[in-house]
Amino acid sequence: MVTGNPPLLEVPSGSFEVSRLPGEILDGNYNNQSFQVAEPIHLSLIVPTYNESGNIEKMVRVLTSLLDQALPNSYELVIVDDDSRDLTWEIAQGLMREYPHLRVMRRQTERGLSTAVIRGWQAARGEVLGVIDGDLQHPPEVLLQLLSQIDQGADLAVASRHVEGGGVSDWSIVRRFLSRGAQTLGLIILPRVISRVSDPMSGYFMIRRSAIAGQKMNPLGYKILIEVLGRGNIERIAEAGYTFQEREEGESKVTWRQYQEYIYHLLRLRFSTGRLGRIRRKLDFPIGRFIRFVMVGCSGLIVDMGVLYFLHGVLGLGLTRSAIFAGQLAILNNFLWNDIWTFGDVSRKQRQWGKVLKRLLKFNIICLMGLILKILLLNVLFNGLHLNPYLANFLAIAVVTVWNFWINLKLSWRVTQTK
């Protein structure tokens, strides 16, 4: 009599890289004799879950009955749960006795939909790697279409809401607008990737293992498909229409944070793949930090404008005095966020108050020098080249932003020190 629950899957760690062979050990030191390659199967379907206790049993039952017919003994379901408060992982673990093709991973130190999927693929044994939501909003029967498209030679098969037979149930106008807006933004920032599929936001697709094996991925947030499209070796892409269903139990975990992460993810892919990626690697330019620095700078712009309006527009203070005060507050705002976020890994090693004040002083001086540089540039572009004043101002800000970033990188936070 087997007592206790069957064992959970070991959680892979280290880089987000899928091995060429199922079960191959990637980060350790191994030679060909020492590592055990798991018995390959055809399909590994990852089901990322967070608080899906109301859906998971039906999900496993429906997927098993479908795949037992289509792929007898040649598939596995891999639930990757992020330590759900509602103990989804424990319910799934209990189901393993009844469903022999079910494997369960409980992550306790990492969180996030995209990283969950990749950790599942790293532990997977399939030649084909798939992902489907664990809340029954992705109709399971489309799996068979995706699988036959892969078997007919596609490297990637995506379930799409925006092709023949696709759609969403009764989504609000706001949700439709946000989804389409995110797609449009992706087409502007990363056209080479986002334009390749009709539904880049899809979280329902299958990929041939060889198309992503050995690629160091750097996933973020919800949109695992853009990471696969951005870093995989994908020649042939197929799509199958599906209608996004209404949830039966639980609720969506999408918050504003996922939208912010999506924008950051697009920018990071933009600067770390393709032509710009090659240039950046040559320059050894820390693009992740630079993107964060720019986002902090945007918040400073809002502070600057808001304080200027309050002092000059509401309190009636003189424009120059208001602008200086607003500018100084914006610099403090930027220092704070850069110290916490952009260069957090560096500043956490230099927490002493004296060091913080030293960084603040340097940051302030560099930004004030940047302000002088900006005014000079603005005059050259406006009075010398007769550019439109706002275009001239924008270009001057762009140049000064790179100057501010690079000098602060080398002087204020001295990233070189921690290398």
* The token pair that represents 51 in the structure block: 């608080």
Site residues for ligand GDD, 118-137, by CB under 6 A, read: 133-135, 137
**Contact letters (x/-) for ligand GDD, 139-178, by CB under 6 A?**
----------------------------------------
Q: In this structure, what token pair is assigned to residue 318?
A: 């003189």
C-alpha span between 366 and 358 (Å, rounded):
12
In terms of CB distance, is 235 or 249 closer to ligand GDD? 249
Find tokens 């330590």 and name the residue: 83
Q: How far is the CB of 132 from Mn ion (least distance, A)?
A: 11
**Interaction between residue 52 and Mn ion (CB under 5 A):** no
Angle (CA) 86-87-89 rounded to 5° is 135
Smallest separation (angstroms) from ligand GDD to the CB of 368: 42
- Residue 46's DSSP bridge partners are 78, 131
- Of 78, 102, 116, 234, the one binding ligand GDD by CB under 6 A: 116
Among 252, 383, 388, 418, binds ligand GDD (CB under 6 A): 252
Residues 39-78 vs ligand GDD: string with x where CB under 6 A? Answer: ---------xxx-x--------------------------
Sites for ligand GDD among residues 189-248 (CB under 6 A): 201-204, 222, 244
413 near ligand GDD, rule: CB under 6 A: no
Contact 222, 113 (CB under 8 A): yes
Binder of residue 52, out of ligand GDD, Mn ion, none (CB less than 5 to 8 A by kind)? ligand GDD
Q: Among 55, 64, 122, 137, indicate the residue that binds Mn ion (CB under 5 A).
A: 137
Write phi, then psi, for 85 (nearest 5 degrees). Answer: -65, -30
Q: What are phi and psi of 235, to 5 degrees?
A: -90, -65
- Establish if 135 lies at the interface with Mn ion (CB under 5 A): yes
Q: Retrieve residue 140's tokens.
A: 């399971």
| Contact residues for 121 (Cβ-Cβ < 8 A; gap 6+) | 18, 44, 46, 129, 209, 212
Classify burial at 259, counting beta carbons within 10 Å of its beta carbon; exposed 0-12, middle 13-18, buried 19 or more: middle
Contacts with 298 (C-beta within 8 Å, 6 or more apart), sequence order: none
134 makes contact, choosing from ligand GDD, Mn ion, none, with CB < 5 to 8 Å by partner type, with ligand GDD
Closest-by-Cβ residue to ligand GDD is 203
* Shortest reach from residue 252's CB to ligand GDD, in Å: 3
Q: Which is nearer to ligand GDD, 136 or 396 (CB)?
A: 136
Q: Using the 8-state DSSP alphabet, how is residue 126 labeled?
A: E
Residue length, the chain? 419
Which residues form the interface with ligand GDD (CB under 6 A)? Answer: 48-50, 52, 80-82, 111-113, 116, 133-135, 137, 201-204, 222, 244, 252-254
